Amino acid sequence: MGFWQNRRVVLSGGNGFLGSFVVEKLRAAGCREISTPHSRDYDLREKSEALRLFKDAKPDIFIHLAAVVGGIGANRANPGRFFYDNAVMGINAIEAGRLAGVEKFVCAGTICSYPKFTPVPFREENFWDGYPEETNAPYGLAKKMLLVQLQAYREQYGFKGIYLTPVNLYGPRDNFDPESSHVIPALIRKCWEAKQVRAPEVTAWGTGRATREFLYVEDAAEAMVLAAEKYEKPEPVNLGSGAEISIGNLLELICSLTGYQGTARWDEKKPDGQPRRCLDTSRAVTEFAWHAKTSLHDGLQKTVSWYTESLSNPLGAAARRS
């Protein structure tokens, strides 16, 4: 409680999916001054706006979560935007933080930065061993450059920046828009809607053989807060659950949890993305005593419940879009 009590914390992306949970964890930890500026008020793609944010908000700790993200389809449709917006927002925020003398800068990276054929489980020392998977390489490389910047600034200026690499996140308040969502919310929505109209089958991208690891959003938020308090080193830190599942088995589990009894058809003309994803999270355990607590089954059950409940209230349509 003492660490956070008198520190002013500012979060870019603090009104988003992960950010909203980080805010809750900060409050629970005793933080009294939390600011979540909106992009319409401070556009971090403009250096002058980033400088103005730090001048106005005067953060002790800045947590950079703002990102332009999406699933494979969104990445393929927007490679230029995903590269430019993510790179320039982070570059401007880190530079503004340095000039403002912020006490600590916490940056959220992405598993998409890892090489396409990284040995499983992914270890931080493999981060630079190859080029990312092509469908999300622009996004992954943009975020990866922020680690370079943080390490360079630490070496030259003594800037205290840390870099955390979460695996695919999911949970309540996720983006369920079929045009831009990640795999779990996309499949939940697909199965739920198929159940409502008694569709005999649902179609999913790829072969179903690719594997992924998923981290429940509340566990990720807890890791962010713990790392902000306790982690001081320049090396990146993986955040994951340690459980790997094929997309085919994931779809079966989501069908069961949504009550959909039809069959799955795989559109193999669509890409699988990276063949496998699973992280070694031992560094997070060693450095700030964090490990994921929520099983995939329990996390999915909470996510399905949130989604279906959101459809029955006046804000349901908004929840379905966002």
Catalytic residues: 139
Query: Range with the lowest mean pLDDT among 11-15, 75-79, 93-97, 161-165?
Result: 75-79
Domain boundaries along the sequence of the chain: 2-321
Q: What is the pLDDT of residue 319?
A: 45
- For residue 315, what pLDDT band results from cuts at 50, 70 and 90? low
CB 225 within 8 A of CB 159: no
At the second CATH level, the architecture of 2-321 is 3-Layer(aba) Sandwich (3.40)
Q: Which residues contact 70 (CB under 8 A, 6 or more apart)?
A: 78, 82, 175, 180, 181, 182
Mean pLDDT over the full length of the chain: 94
CA distance 1 to 98: 26
* pLDDT score, position 71: 78
Region 250-276: what's the mean pLDDT? 94
Query: How high is the pLDDT of residue 277?
Result: 92
Is there a contact between 224 and 34 (Cβ–Cβ < 8 Å)? no
| CA distance linking residue 307 with residue 309, whole number of Å | 5
Tell me how far apart the terminal alpha carbons of the chain are, to the nearest angstrom. Answer: 33
Q: Looking at residue 138, what is its pLDDT?
A: 96
DSSP letter string over 106-160? EEE--GGGSBTTPPSSB-GGGTTSSPBPGGGHHHHHHHHHHHHHHHHHHHHH---
Burial bucket for residue 314 (CB in 10 Å: 0-12, 13-18, 19+): exposed
pLDDT tens column, 122-175: 999 999 999 999 989 999 999 999 999 999 999 999 999 999 999 999 999 999
Over residues 283-290, mean pLDDT = 98
Query: Could you tell me the two tokens for 264?
Result: 């799955």
pLDDT tier for residue 74 given thresholds of 50, 70 and 90: confident
For residue 73, pLDDT over 50 is answered with yes
pLDDT value at residue 70: 80
Percent residues over pLDDT 90 in the chain: 89
How many CB atoms neighbour CB 196 within 10 A?
11
**Position 318 pLDDT exceeds 50:** no
Closest of 126, 108, 116, 115 to residue 167, by C-alpha? 108
Q: What is the pLDDT of residue 87?
A: 98
Using 50, 70 and 90 to split pLDDT, how confident is the model at 38?
Answer: very high
Whether the pLDDT of residue 312 is over 90: the answer is no
Lowest mean pLDDT among 70-74, 77-81, 234-238, 285-289: 70-74
SS3 226: helix
| Phi, psi (rounded to 5 degrees) for 215 | -125, 125
9 close to 63: Cβ distance less than 8 angstroms? yes
What integer pLDDT is reported at residue 321 of this predicted model? 43
Q: Span 62-87, mean pLDDT?
A: 91
The pLDDT score that the predictor gives to residue 314 is 54
**Average pLDDT of span 184-206:** 96
- For residue 320, pLDDT over 50 is answered with no
E strand residue ranges, the chain: 8-12, 33-35, 61-64, 104-108, 161-166, 168-170, 201-205, 211-216, 237-239, 244-246, 263-267
pLDDT at 317 over 80: no
Measure the CA–CA gap between 141 and 212, rounded to whole angstroms.
20
